[in-house]
Amino acid sequence: MNLLLSLKLLLILFFVYETHPFHVSICEMSYNGKTGCFEISYRIFTDDFEVALAGISKDKMDLLIDFESEKSKLLINDYLNQHFEIWIEGQKIALNYLGSEHVDDAIWNYLESEKIEFSSPIKIVNDVLFEIFSDQMNLIHLNKEDKKRSFRFDRDNPEVEF
């Protein structure tokens, strides 16, 4: 119950502050039983994501203008595949970058996993932006059929296994 209350408070704070004094990303993961794939939507603040991508490319990034360029697509794909991983039965699951869209002050990134059998144990590693911000927190909401689970990741807890 405390996690749900914390999540609601974070969402309220998102809308109260024009600039964000804290660093949070939100990921929605759904397992599609028909296709056997995870469908992933990952929201990252644009300015924070630009800093992370510039660290890889060594060039200043402007995702408001460039997020659809081939260079940006490659950088986003590489970054997310390095910092967001799904493991099932000790095997890393391939994630395919589908694209991004700019919504308000964030970039929504869309990924899809290779076809898998959803089984336990599953491990998720999520250290997106941890190399940039010491206070970074990443939230994942995982949906499978009618079940929803939420997880919180930070520098001290960059992975979860269930």
Give the C-alpha separation, 59 to 47, whole Å: 14
pTM > 0.85: no
pLDDT classification of 16: cutoffs 50, 70, 90: very low
Q: What is the pLDDT of residue 2?
A: 57
Give the C-alpha separation, 10 to 4, whole Å: 10
pLDDT classification of 136: cutoffs 50, 70, 90: very high
Q: What is the pLDDT of residue 52?
A: 92
Structure tokens that stand for 106 in this block: 């964030």
pLDDT classification of 121: cutoffs 50, 70, 90: confident
pLDDT exceeds cutoff 80 at 90:
yes
pLDDT in tens, 106-117: 999 999 999 998
Residue boundaries of the structural domains of the chain: 26-161
Q: What is the pLDDT of residue 137?
A: 97
Residue range 65-89: average pLDDT?
90
**Which residues pair with residue 45 across a beta bridge?**
106
Decide: 28 and 41 in contact? Cβ < 8 Å. Answer: yes
Decide: 40 and 25 in contact? Cβ < 8 Å. Answer: no
Q: What is the DSSP letter of 157?
A: B
